[in-house]
Amino acid sequence: MRKRLALMAAALGLITVIPAPASAATETYGDYSLMFGRTAGQYWAGGQVGGQWAWNPQSATTSDISWGDPAQWPPASAEHFLRSGDWVELDGYSGGAGKPVTEVQRVTSETLGTASCTGMTVVPSDGGRQHYAKWTIPAAGYCLDATGTITSTVNGSVVHFRHRQVWGAPTGCSNAYFSGQRCITQHEQWWDDNAHAYGLQIDRTQYIAKGKGMAFAIRTTVPVTWNADGRYFWTWS
């Protein structure tokens, strides 16, 4: 996630929220993110490519996602996620999909509450990994607030972070290229002290479309105002 900052460039974009279609079946984060398929997508901003993402499953319960410039693919970075029970958890970062985690992310505190971040209660630890999202999509939105450290296994450096996420319930959505979709939203704020004073580094909302995947729309306010829309989605082998 911290690697994505290097791809940001100022651009304009719009997103339209439309009434959500009814859904009788239980939905999962996998239905939206497509994290356990070899899936990929490309998002555009200001009439040009803004970046690309791709999931690379490692097992029935783990998957790596890379973000980068499609002209220089694959990138030398990835985020390692796993499913544990009814949670998707973030383990850390590596030098590329399929490679060992070298930046281990562990929480020192985590709380869970309503979409307005009220009624926050402690989330029991699961090996110190960050509880990133609920696997089963709930009918109502929720808030996750985690603090902790990212420790390098290469040089021993330690970065302190806070990651606050508000996940929205499924809703209808469209972007500059697609209409009539169904999305969940992730409003995230990220603070860290990685080679600078501790402070807010990211404030953005991502729309994740069911059956299409990540970055259906990105609306960023920090570190710059930047907007992008998912234009191409595919599977790879």
> Cα–Cα–Cα angle for 187, 188, 192, nearest 5°?
165
Q: Are the C-beta atoms of 163 and 151 separated by less than 8 Å?
A: no
C-alpha to C-alpha distance for 66 and 192, rounded to whole angstroms: 21
pTM for this entry: 0.89
Domain residue spans in the chain? 2-20+31-235
C-alpha to C-alpha distance for 76 and 227, rounded to whole angstroms: 24
Is residue 52 scored above 80 in pLDDT? yes
Q: What is the pLDDT of residues 135-190, one digit of tens each?
A: 999 999 999 999 999 999 999 999 999 999 999 999 999 999 999 999 999 999 99
Is residue 35 scored above 70 in pLDDT? yes
Taking Cα atoms as reference points, which of 30, 24, 95 lies closest to residue 63?
30
* CB neighbour list of residue 124: distance below 8 Å, 6 or more residues apart: none
Kindly state the helix (H) or strand (E) to which residue 160 belongs, with its residue range.
Answer: strand 158-174
Per-residue pLDDT at 137: 98
Is residue 16 scored above 90 in pLDDT? no
Average pLDDT, the chain: 92
Structural tokens at position 35: 């994290």
Q: What is the pLDDT of residues 74-119, one digit of tens each?
A: 999 999 999 999 999 999 999 999 999 999 999 999 999 999 999 9
Q: What is the pLDDT of residues 157-167, one digit of tens each?
A: 999 999 999 99
